[in-house]
Amino acid sequence: AQSVTQPDIHITVSEGASLELRCNYSYGATPYLFWYVQSPGQGLQLLLKYFSGDTLVQGIKGFEAEFKRSQSSFNLRKPSVHWSDAAEYFCAVGGLEYGNKLVFGAGTILRVKS
């Protein structure tokens, strides 16, 4: 069965500092991996996705993520955080073998201090 673990419930970083949000997954076949962001009172916005190929993927808003099959990880990074990045971030896994359904992690709430 699919599952996603985001070990950090809350993370606080200073504005301008680098960020890494962790995501580990369990999936029985070739995973499709996603990061979504949810700002307060908003729906989910797709930040980036990995299907195949280059394991380092670039997304919107200056985010990137690296797929590491050996570690079953798909960590999200940003070199310099802006106050507007404060939100909740969800990692998700899906794929054709499970009808393209997504399983989400519990989410990580990012706080940015000035």
Partner 1 sequence: SAVISQKPSRDICQRGTSLTIQCQVDSQVTMMFWYRQQPGQSLTLIATANQGSEATYESGFVIDKFPISRPNLTFSTLTVSNMSPEDSSIYLCSVLGTYEQYFGPGTRLTVT
**Least distance in Å: CB of 113 to partner 1?**
22
> What distance in Å separates the CA atoms of residue 23 and residue 5, rounded to the nearest whole number?
6
> What distance in Å separates the CA atoms of residue 33 and residue 47, rounded to the nearest whole number?
11
Torsion of CA 61, 71, 107, 87, to 10 degrees: -20
At residue 88's C-alpha, the angle toward residues 85 and 18, to 5°, is 45
Instruction: Give 17 or 60: the residue with its C-beta nearer to partner 1.
Output: 60
Residues 28/97, Cβ–Cβ less than 8 Å? yes
**Least distance in Å: CB of 37 to partner 1?**
11
Instruction: Give 90 or 112: the residue with its C-beta nearer to partner 1.
Output: 90
Binding site for partner 1 (CB under 8 A): 32, 34, 36, 42-46, 49, 51, 90, 94-96, 99-107
**Least distance in Å: CB of 63 to partner 1?**
15
**Least distance in Å: CB of 14 to partner 1?**
25
Instruction: Give 100 or 114: the residue with its C-beta nearer to partner 1.
Output: 100
